[in-house]
Chain A
Amino acid sequence: MNAALEFRDVSKSFTLHLRGGTVLPVVAGASFAVAPGECGVLWGPSGTGKSSLLRMAYGNYRCDGGAILVRDGGRVIDVARAAPREVLALRARTMSYVSQFLRVIPRVSARDVVEAAGREGGMSEAAARARAGDLLARLNLPERLWNLPPATFSGGEQQRVNIARGLIAPRPILLLDEPTASLDAQNRAVVAELVEERRAAGAAILGIVHDAAMREAIGGRIIDVTRFGTARAA
């Protein structure tokens, strides 16, 4: 496998037990790959399973069928079948995931949130500290906020902490779930720049990016998710 990340015939549905066992198909037959240094952009109207695909790649959602292959150094691991600790190991060294919202941890300051992610990703304490400050500064988070827990921050401020957290450790795969939705144009541009730096450095990027300028800036190749649509309309 040359790709950093490859979906092979992946299918997923939700069974809603609380609604009488209704089965809600999400995707079926999803097959695509993202190479190192490449940026794949999941494309399609909302409800077509873009987010679910990203979450499956990260092991956050289960995968019902098919394989999700991740290159982890010299090995290839199928996230769909991996044991929990293998998934955790992948998250620590191989994949980062930037969600739409920061999950706030009580009492932990913005800078510490970012720094901790760097250390979990294998950076030294000093390197993580320096890089955390660097990222927060580039993302225009006022320095007076760095030592405060982000619980009281605005949505945009929290999201910039979240992005810094996802980008600090140089992992080979970067998963982005609309990271710039709550940001202004200036900060969107900064995020595009940071992501492009990572891509240029050889990271494989798979994302949901609605912002055209950003898509342009990171050279996103469109992956049409409607192709993996299920017979839901029927």
Chain B
Amino acid sequence: MSDALLQARGLTKRYGARLACADISFDLDPGEVLAIVGESGSGKSTLLSLIATELAPDAGTVSYRMRDGVMRDLAGLSKAERRALMRTDWGFVRQDATQGLRMAVSAGGNVGERLMGLGERHYGQIRAQAIDWLDRVEIAADRIDDPPTRFSGGMRQRLQIARNLVTTPRLVLMDEPTSGLDVSVQARLLDLIRRLVAELGLAVIIVTHDLAVARLLSHRVMVMRAGRVVETGLTDQVLDDPADAYTQLLVSSVLAA
């Protein structure tokens, strides 16, 4: 459809002889949550890096509908435009919080950075917004001056989310945001993400190997294997009535997803 928020066309990336992503195309609508599932080495994280323009594809394009409504090829944006887009209209929640946070900076500074990047110069207002966002991700206001080094794994992920959402982006990329966390911590984080995504109408591309995460959060799922998309469709349809042999194997390999 023509009102897609993001369009990927023919994305291809090789590492030497190995094909990490092969001719991948998809559309993402505003407010749509797309899960990219697959085992490690399936190319799902590479695909996310291509979308985030952190990697340059060997072939293919990623286009994004800017806030002015115009669809732009991200490769055609100037570096300044691209970086500005990434830190205002996009978010990126990383698996490793130390990659997504400034570990030497307080929680408030982490949340406030994007605001200051946009030219916000009122300390009191920056702090008020930081407190508001910490509250929304269930971090107590009295932790605002603590650095994330003193936070648990789950709190760090929640802080990453606050840091990304403070500029009300329309698209958030998430790379295995819950892996490595205890099950109960995972559940809390997933619930929080689910709630915020619905509340804010965020479009999300989430990479996960966990089908339960895909089922809980996503509208649509893309199953990847060896750099190719083997199946795509409505999340519950793909998980409950998988057509592809690999998807069937994946679905039957987990306990009650």
Does A touch B (CB under 8 Å) in the complex?
Answer: yes
Residues of A within 8 A of B (CB): 14-18, 55, 59-62, 83-85, 87-88, 105-108
Q: Are A61 and B241 in contact (CB under 8 A)?
A: yes
Given contacts A17-B249, A84-B234, 7 further A-B contacts (CB under 8 A): A84-B220, A84-B233, A88-B219, A106-B190, A106-B191, A107-B187, A107-B191
Cβ of B145 < 8 Å from any Cβ of A?
Answer: no
Please measure, in the bound complex, the distance between the C-alpha atom of A142 and the C-alpha atom of B83, giving whole angstroms.
54
* Least CB separation from B216: chain A residue: A105
Q: Are A62 and B245 in contact (CB under 8 A)?
A: no
Q: Are A87 and B188 in contact (CB under 8 A)?
A: no
Please measure, in the bound complex, the distance between the C-alpha atom of A18 and the C-alpha atom of B241, giving whole angstroms.
13
> Contacts of B248 on A, CB cut-off 8 Å?
16-18
Please measure, in the bound complex, the distance between the C-alpha atom of A85 and the C-alpha atom of B237, giving whole angstroms.
13
Mark each residue of chain B from 111 to 136: 1 if its CB lies under 8 Å from any CB of chain A, else 0: 00000000000000000000000000
Q: Are B191 and A18 in contact (CB under 8 A)?
A: no
Mark each residue of chain B from 219 to 253: 1 if its CB lies under 8 Å from any CB of chain A, else 0: 11000000000000110110011011100110010
Please measure, in the bound complex, the distance between the C-alpha atom of A59 and the C-alpha atom of B194, giving whole angstroms.
22
Please measure, in the bound complex, the distance between the C-alpha atom of A84 and the C-alpha atom of B238, giving whole angstroms.
11
Q: Are B240 and A60 in contact (CB under 8 A)?
A: yes
* Least CB separation from B251: chain A residue: A18
Cβ of B96 < 8 Å from any Cβ of A?
Answer: no
User: How far apart are A17's CB and chain B's nearest CB, in angstroms?
Assistant: 3
Mark each residue of chain B from 19 to 62: 1 if its CB lies under 8 Å from any CB of chain A, else 0: 00000000001001000000000000000000000000000000
Please measure, in the bound complex, the distance between the C-alpha atom of A197 and the C-alpha atom of B241, giving whole angstroms.
33
Please measure, in the bound complex, the distance between the C-alpha atom of A60 and the C-alpha atom of B190, giving whole angstroms.
23
* Least CB separation from B240: chain A residue: A60
Q: Are A107 and B188 in contact (CB under 8 A)?
A: yes
Which interface class (under 10, 10 to 19, 20 to 34, 35 or more) fits B?
20 to 34
Beyond A16-B248, A17-B248, whether A105 also contacts B191 by CB under 8 A is yes
Q: Are B243 and A60 in contact (CB under 8 A)?
A: no
Residues of B within 8 A of A (CB): 1, 29, 32, 187-188, 190-191, 194, 216, 219-220, 233-234, 236-237, 240-241, 243-245, 248-249, 252
> Contacts of A83 on B, CB cut-off 8 Å?
1
| Number of A-B residue pairs with CB-CB distance less than 8 Å in the complex they form | 51
Closest 8 CB pairs of A and B: A17-B245, A106-B187, A61-B241, A84-B234, A107-B191, A17-B248, A84-B220, A62-B241
User: How far apart are A78's CB and chain B's nearest CB, in angstroms?
Assistant: 15
The answer, among B29, B219, B245, for a CB contact under 8 Å with A18, is B245
> Contacts of B216 on A, CB cut-off 8 Å?
105
User: How far apart are A95's CB and chain B's nearest CB, in angstroms?
Assistant: 13
> Contacts of B245 on A, CB cut-off 8 Å?
17-18
Residue from B191, B220, B234, B244 with most neighbouring chain A CB atoms (10 Å): B234
* Least CB separation from B236: chain A residue: A60
Beyond A18-B249, A84-B220, whether A61 also contacts B190 by CB under 8 A is no
Please measure, in the bound complex, the distance between the C-alpha atom of A87 and the C-alpha atom of B29, giving whole angstroms.
14
Q: Are A108 and B191 in contact (CB under 8 A)?
A: yes
> Contacts of B237 on A, CB cut-off 8 Å?
59-62, 84
Please measure, in the bound complex, the distance between the C-alpha atom of A165 and the C-alpha atom of B241, giving whole angstroms.
23
* Least CB separation from A58: chain B residue: B236
* Least CB separation from B31: chain A residue: A85
> Contacts of B234 on A, CB cut-off 8 Å?
59-60, 84, 87-88
User: How far apart are A155's CB and chain B's nearest CB, in angstroms?
Assistant: 15
Please measure, in the bound complex, the distance between the C-alpha atom of A54 and the C-alpha atom of B148, giving whole angstroms.
49
User: How far apart are B134's CB and chain A's nearest CB, in angstroms?
Assistant: 19
A-B contact pairs, 16 of them (CB 8 A): A14-B241, A16-B248, A17-B249, A60-B234, A60-B237, A61-B237, A62-B233, A62-B243, A84-B237, A85-B1, A105-B191, A106-B188, A106-B190, A106-B191, A107-B187, A107-B191
Please measure, in the bound complex, the distance between the C-alpha atom of A60 and the C-alpha atom of B242, giving whole angstroms.
10
* Least CB separation from B247: chain A residue: A17
* Least CB separation from B252: chain A residue: A18
Please measure, in the bound complex, the distance between the C-alpha atom of A17 and the C-alpha atom of B245, giving whole angstroms.
5
* Least CB separation from A151: chain B residue: B187
User: How far apart are B85's CB and chain A's nearest CB, in angstroms?
Assistant: 24
Please measure, in the bound complex, the distance between the C-alpha atom of A60 and the C-alpha atom of B236, giving whole angstroms.
6
User: How far apart are B193's CB and chain A's nearest CB, in angstroms?
Assistant: 12
The answer, among B32, B241, B243, B252, for a CB contact under 8 Å with A85, is B32
Please measure, in the bound complex, the distance between the C-alpha atom of A88 and the C-alpha atom of B252, giving whole angstroms.
25
User: How far apart are B243's CB and chain A's nearest CB, in angstroms?
Assistant: 7
Please measure, in the bound complex, the distance between the C-alpha atom of A16 and the C-alpha atom of B245, giving whole angstroms.
8
